[in-house]
Amino acid sequence: MNSATWWCSRDSNVRVNRDNFARDITLTRILAIANQKGGVGKTTTCVNLAASLAAMKQRVLLIDLDPQGNATMASGIDKYDIQHSIYDVLVHQLPVQQATLAAGDSGFHVLPANGDLTAAEVEMLSIEHNERRLRLALSSVAGQYDYVLIDCPPSLNMLTVNALAAADGVIIAMQCEYFALEGLAALVRTIEGVAETINSKLQIEGILRTMYDPRNSLTTDVSSQLRAHFGDKVYRTVVPRNVRLAEAPSHGVPAMYYDKNSRGSKAYMALAGEIIRRWEQQAAQQPGHRAVT
Ligand code: ATP
Ligand code: MG
């Protein structure tokens, strides 16, 4: 499907009415999915949330900001066979549109990554305001998407700082396990640091519990500590441990196109609904703006 038609033809059931919506609010929600801890479900969340939001008629761009290129591959794009990538956008200022590809028939767009991105950090050292490169690049596509989701690498490096500098909110993906909270403090400090210096609009969008196993007593303990500290920021939706979510990437599709009835794909649909509802509630509180129902 050509990109021009897939978003012109959408109805506005779950959308914020663009005509009445803010001139002073950016239409595009830019959300970074982050946690410097590896293997907590960031990429799985990014890809499946992108597909779920797209299924709910949202225009979505997924940005793979990890040299591992896992989100690229899981979206059905061969990272070894791409002409341009996020590397060209960050280092050579290639316009975002020129590197963007469709994620098969999954209904969203991908700005892909591969190993080239490893060099970006070094090459960007000599560039002034290098932490704002992504933010600058995204200004050219602002308004063309409802959601931009950024898959961060497992590190608090320059790439992650670029994501935080560009984002409106951070979704922290985390497993409810013993050391999880320890790493969280460093991540929260980084978010606060970026909010104070580069990007005052940045906030924690939500805390997502992944690979959730209610039979594990640690899960309940960590969940209550998260609620005590982050309150409503903790999503009601939890993502269960589900083998379909782990299998889908090897088929190059989000789980909903691999097994739509799996608990994993249903959880990500529920998460997409929760995120849209939260945003509509926020938008409704802005004077002069109303959401379409
Ligand atoms: P990295 O830090 O390396 O980028 P990540 O935080 O992006 O990792 P993922 O790659 O999404 O984490 O997930 C790590 C592994 O766990 C993958 O093999 C993935 O398929 C699997 N996985 C993720 N979420 C789930 C889940 N809810 N149930 C079962 N397996 C999962
Ligand atoms: Mg990842």
Q: Residue 215 domain-assigned?
A: yes
**Ligand 1 center to residue 166 CA distance, Å?**
24
Q: Residue 258 domain-assigned?
A: yes
Chain center to CA of 234: 16
H or E element: which one contains 7? helix 3-8
- The answer for 129, left when phi > 0, alpha when psi is -120 to 50, beta otherwise, is left
Rounded CA-CA distance 43/248 in Å is: 12
Quick one: which ligand is closest to 38's CA? 1
- Name the phi and psi angles at 271, rounded to 5: -65, -45
* Residues of the domain holding 219: 28-284
Structure tokens of 237? 């939706």
Residue 255: CATH number of its domain: 3.40.50.300
- The predicted pLDDT at position 14 comes to 31
Q: Residue 9 domain-assigned?
A: no
Over the range 18-45, which residues count as b (16 or more CB within 10 Å of their CB) and which as e?
eeebeeeeeebbbbbbbbbbeebbbbbb
Q: Residue 113 domain-assigned?
A: yes
Q: Residue 2 domain-assigned?
A: no
Q: Per DSSP, what are the bridge partners of residue 171? A: 33, 206
- The predicted pLDDT at position 179 comes to 81
Task: Pick the residue whose CA is nearest to atom 8 on ligand 1.
Answer: 39
By C-alpha distance, which of 107, 104, 102 is closest to 58? 107
Q: Residue 58 domain-assigned?
A: yes
Q: Residue 182 domain-assigned?
A: yes
Q: Residue 118 domain-assigned?
A: yes
- The predicted pLDDT at position 125 comes to 87
**Ligand 1 center to residue 19 CA distance, Å?**
39
Q: Per DSSP, what are the bridge partners of residue 277? A: none
Q: Mean pLDDT of successive 10-residue segments in the chain (293 residues)? A: 31 35 61 96 98 98 98 98 97 96 97 96 89 95 94 96 97 90 91 97 97 92 93 97 98 97 98 95 72 40
**Ligand 1 center to residue 140 CA distance, Å?**
31
Q: How many domains is the chain partitioned into structurally?
A: 1
In testing the pocket of ligand 1, which one of 36, 40, 44 has its CB within 8 Å of the most ligand atoms?
A: 44
H or E element: which one contains 238? strand 234-240
Length of the chain: 293
Rounded CA-CA distance 35/111 in Å is: 20
Question: Which amino acid is it at 9?
Answer: S
Mapping DSSP to helix (H, G, I), strand (E, B) and coil, where does residue 167 land? Answer: coil
Place of tokens 């061969």: 78
**Ligand 1 center to residue 146 CA distance, Å?**
25
